[in-house]
Amino acid sequence: MNTGTPYVSALACTPEQWPLLYLCTVAVLAGFGLLVNLGVLYASVFATDDAGSAAPTPSAAPRRAR
């Protein structure tokens, strides 16, 4: 049903602005994804490392010759 009033968007964007807005949105989402991946990497490598004073890493002392 046509009421004669033009569609007014909630966002005041012109069609020329959409590519830039799209790229900015993709960049923000990629940035959040990178932060999540880095957090998972930290948790999987460093936060779950149980080497410490209770379980020290093996010494790299040279072996004695026989």
Amino acid at 58: P
What is the predicted pLDDT for the residue at 57? 62
CA dihedral 40, 44, 45, 47 (to 10 degrees): 90
- Give DSSP secondary structure letters for 20-43: HHHHHHHHHHHHHHHHHHHHHHHI
Q: What is the pTM of this model?
A: 0.52
Q: Is 2 part of any domain? A: no
| Better pLDDT: 48 or 46 | 46
Q: Which domain holds residue 39?
A: 18-46
Q: Is 27 part of any domain? A: yes
Number of domains in the chain: 1
Q: Is 28 part of any domain? A: yes
Q: Which two tokens stand for residue 33?
A: 């994804």
Q: Is 24 part of any domain? A: yes
Judged by DSSP in three states, 51 sits in coil
Residue carrying the six token digits 């209770």: 54
Q: Is 39 part of any domain? A: yes
What is the predicted pLDDT for the residue at 30? 98
